Structure 1
């Protein structure tokens, strides 16, 4: 386990555990932060090699920043509700961090990610 930030014990911060293949990283995030922004700020990309540069910039339009949430907030974006229902990755740009969560970056990602 590699630790990027230490937890301050502050109620406005939470821990986001990111699983990327065999690597697990614990990040401290401020409540209200967008998950996509947190990942990119720490050098963890929710994108595939192709969509790293070709994406909508976090507006929820291209569906290329998919991640698997294991204990995150309920889906409230239309795409995330459908993704949750049919087993597709959730859009990290549409997930607002409101508590501790575990996120798995999608391995073998093509453009949108496959069903689970």
Structure 2
């Protein structure tokens, strides 16, 4: 879980299992959902599989389908954030914009915040 300093405490049995799955905590609105994800899964797909959409109402149906082109699946990752590999994510990380969930592979435990106040894209921090 988040240790209060933006890091995920994965020292407990819930963080990293020997089964190739890791703990993903998703904060949405005033709620928090704890899920387990297979290492290597795309964060966008994992969120959608658990009924947690990274999209705004407007972009729920009008998006690129996870190809990293529309920038509408942005999320914030306050703990367990992987290094950016996609050009958009490198810029987002540098300038404080949400990261593209379709371009993030889950590698370890993480905390994810859905951006609730976006119309299309999320604003800067």
Q: Could you tell me the TM-score, scaled by structure 1's length?
A: 0.91
- Give 1:19-30 correspondences, 5 Å limit: 19-30=27-38
- In the alignment, which of 78, 82, 104 is matched to residue 73 of structure 1? 82
For 2:96 and 2:16, how far apart are their aligned partners in 1? 35
Secondary structure, aligned partner of 2:24: strand
Match for residue 13 of structure 1? 21
Contact residue 16 and residue 22 of structure 2 kept, 8 A = no
Name the CA shift for 1:113/1:8 in 2 (closer, same or farther; >3 Å).
Answer: closer
User: How many Å apart are 1:41 and its aligned residue?
Assistant: 0.3
How many residues are aligned here?
A: 111
Deviation at 1:21, TM superposition (A): 1.2
CA contact (8 A) 2:75 2:113 kept: yes
Of 85, 88, 91, which aligns to 1:82? 91
Q: Which runs of 4+ in 1 moved over 6 A?
A: none
Of 103, 108, 112, which residue of structure 1 is paired with 2:112? 103
1:99/1:7 CA distance change after superposition, 3 Å:
closer
What runs of 5+ residues in structure 2 fail to find an aligned partner? 1-13
